[in-house]
Structure 1
Amino acid sequence: MATTTQPAPVPAHELVYEPKQLPKLRSNYGAYLDQSNVGWLKETSIDTPLEEVRARFEADGYVYMKHLMPREDVLGVRQKYFEHLQPTGILKPGTSPRDGIFDTTQDPIVHNGVGGKDLPEDLERQRLLQSAHTLPVYLAFLEHPDFRSFIRKFLGCERDVIVKRTLLRHNVPNGLSTGCHYDRIFLRAGEDFLTAWVPFGDCTAAGGGLMYMDDSSDVGKTMEEDFMKRAEHFTPEERINGFNLNMAKDGQLTHNVAELDEQLSSTHASPTGVRRKWLAANYEAGDVIFHNPYMLHAAVKNEDPLGKIRLSTDLRFYPEGGRIDERWMRSVWRPDDGL
């Protein structure tokens, strides 16, 4: 009788978990993306060898790290943020700030966060959005040893520099959040950098987190090269300004991802001829996704069935000694900082 042998188990860091049911994704405006054009971000576990992490980043333009930080450390920031904003009436009465459940009797547009198409008109709400960036629990999080240690190892440097102007922002159900863009648009005055997107809390694929256009680094680079050619006669200040005549008024490529996807399928076809998918994830507290400056991405319209508010931060890193976009080192985010 032949001996039955079991195949060697696949290492955990090589497993890619893909839920069966694809999410429904759309942006601030426009139709849902066709389901055939939607997929899942590849997950990478924290025990993945560093060289493999870097290889995935180079190949895909992003790397989605699972459970990079302790869950409770992240949820603590979420709780303090919504305690800070509770006077605005953003939370459903009787619910916990840590849960961050939106009061659906409120107008979502009144409770737009940083990076939405329009900020709230109420000056007190704007003040709270700004001062949230100086909450002690948030500033301590920015120095989280697990997080910053990984950054340094990934960048291959002894010290890293985080830009002061971070973007701590929420996305309420049925509100407006970030349109489609690539990050280089806003940080043109320095060299390339690393972006980290950190969700503060669990966020389903349809709950307002980020979606990425797969294999789109070449698209962003082509767009940037085209802009620089047309900007040859601009002043230096105009050339680095993200709010230029080629963009929407808030510096985004568009707020209608479905429409942009149709345009790019003909003008920026994939080298393989296969239509690029838009990728999302069921993010968990403690996850971090890193991407390069040219990956196209946008916030998903928040349609969380439980009314959960997405809270996240956008962070940019340079190796120490790198040429930094000094505009982003002046201070924390302000409504009138022009960036």
Structure 2
Amino acid sequence: SASHNNFADNGIKLFGPDGYKLSDEQELGIEAFMDEGLQEGLAEPRALGRVRRIDDAQARYVEIVKATFPRDLSLSGLRIVIDCANGAAYKVAPTALYELGADVIPVGVTPDGTNINEECGSTHPEAMAKAVREYRADIGIALDGDADRLTICDEKGHVVDGDQIMALIAGAWADAGTLRAGGVVATVMSNLGLERFLAHKGLALHRTGVGDRYVMQKMREGGFNLGGEQSGHLILSDFSTTGDGLIAALQVLAVMQRSGQPMSRLSRQFEPAPQKLENVRFAGGKPLENDKVQDAIKTAEAKLGDKGRILVRASGTEPLIRIMAEGDDERLVASLVKDIAGAVKSAAG
């Protein structure tokens, strides 16, 4: 659905009857059917069943979200900036926080059908950070268009990485004995520092391909109840079958309230390994299949050895090649990304 992009890229997200995202095979089947044309072989209206409208869906959702917050806590005393990206949560997110006792400052709550994610939300955290500083809030929370991912900033307006949020929740849940399966599921993009942090606590980091669908699949297979992506997609399977930025935010707020510490103290759970990311746009073709690109990747991997990681992949939603390298030697990491990016640019013409 590309719900973090502008309105022109937004689409439809389908879920199965169990509440989980569809598999790759199911989605490809639907796409193939649509490519064949929708004029023939359609079912009669009577065979499709009935559409039922849930008029109180917003109120139901607010109650479900509030029920995920510990009953012995409230948000009383906290001033919270919530940026809803002019998207799906523009009413429900401020309402849930307010009803839990917070002093709420809403941002990005005037959707007009075309301004979703426009200079606001998790893809533009500067709007949230500015409001936090202006209103002297304790924390800022920014959601994306469909509110399945979040970005957080502390009371100083400093943005908190998604891996740090996962580490914060994992540590709190491990201490409380509620973290299941002895670990966390994340993607290949998550920082090496998160892996080291978890290992120090006797926990494992299980990596998947990029995409919250693959994270959820691994969680279901292994019985994990916490997983997510560096981008802020967090899945807390005790509460939801998919990512929910507001539910994840409430877990962070619960840690804040229980610890009595400001977000600036809680936001640095581990020292991240230097990580360099670069996106290279291409007009067409398959640059990753180019021999010179493959040689550049192999050379970089040999130079880095076992002191870091290199990941080169095509974006699933845009014509981009995403290049990531991380390791303890920051200069080497930057140099390797530059070399691979140069090869990709040459191959892309």
- TM score, norm. by length of structure 2: 0.26
Where relative contact order (Cα < 8 A, 6+ residues apart) is larger, the structure is: 1
- TM score, norm. by length of structure 1: 0.26
Q: Which has the higher helix share?
A: 2
Larger radius of gyration: 2
